[in-house]
Amino acid sequence: MSEPTTHFGFREVPVADKQRLVERVFTSVAHNYDLMNDLMSFGIHRLWKRFFVTISGIRAGDRVLDLAGGTGDIATLLLPKVGEGGAVVIGDINAEMLRVGRDRLLDRGLHRGLAFQQVNAESLPYADASFDAVTMAFGLRNVTDKDAALREMRRVLRPGGRALVLEFSRVTQDWLRPLYDFHSFQVLPRLGRVFAHDAESYRYLAESIRKHPDQATLKVMMENAGLGAVSVHNLSAGIVAIHRGYRL
């Protein structure tokens, strides 16, 4: 029997290899991650993330798991929401992203109520019903087994808890698609080469967006993982979308 494969950008690779390849990408981009996000999105990613947290429904005292939390930008926005009685666990599979995020937040004096843990979203090391909310921003498309990750997100949620995914999605306006494709496949790799000295990683990131499930498909995946009342909120004509579901 042939070895099972999955996509790594537009390439088909053995399933067993994808995690290692993704790890190589994010180890390479970790130090320039936030700078490149600003350049790639013209700073709009900050507005997307702020809106994501604003509508999250996360309240004072909540315990939140921020998966693919990397450099800590979502956690920084979550901390005022959970307050002194709450906690945010930043979970990321990539050690270098966690190190960059930890150093950055500690330099800003942000440590109370924060924990950094290296975890695999497909197999979380937490007991059932451990969190009031699980967030994941721009990380799900890099997970090898997305269905397993969504099931794990649901498992660690308390009844009534929320799973929130912010991710690139399918552009809804026909006129915008050619411009978006040009930006993704012509501009991003050049930005990566100039500012991060790494065009290939940013070519992969652009390709990974095109391979990620669209809004309707991800909604069904979340429902199949056992999440209820799943809703979708498009931002910037569907360039990104927020999916929210509950453990009922």
Of 31, 61, 14, the C-alpha closest to 192 is: 31
Strand order through the sheet with 114-118: 114-118, 87-92, 63-67, 131-137, 157-168, 240-246, 228-235
Tokens in use for 106? 């500690």
Task: Considering the domain delimited by 5-246, tell me its CATH architecture.
Answer: 3-Layer(aba) Sandwich (3.40)
Judge contact between 139 and 164, C-beta under 8 A.
Answer: no
Mean pLDDT by 10 residues, the chain (248 residues): 87 94 91 88 95 97 96 94 96 94 90 93 98 97 97 98 98 96 94 90 94 98 98 98 97
Of 92, 152, 85, the C-alpha closest to 120 is: 92
Under DSSP, the state recorded for 232 is E
The answer to pTM > 0.85 is: yes
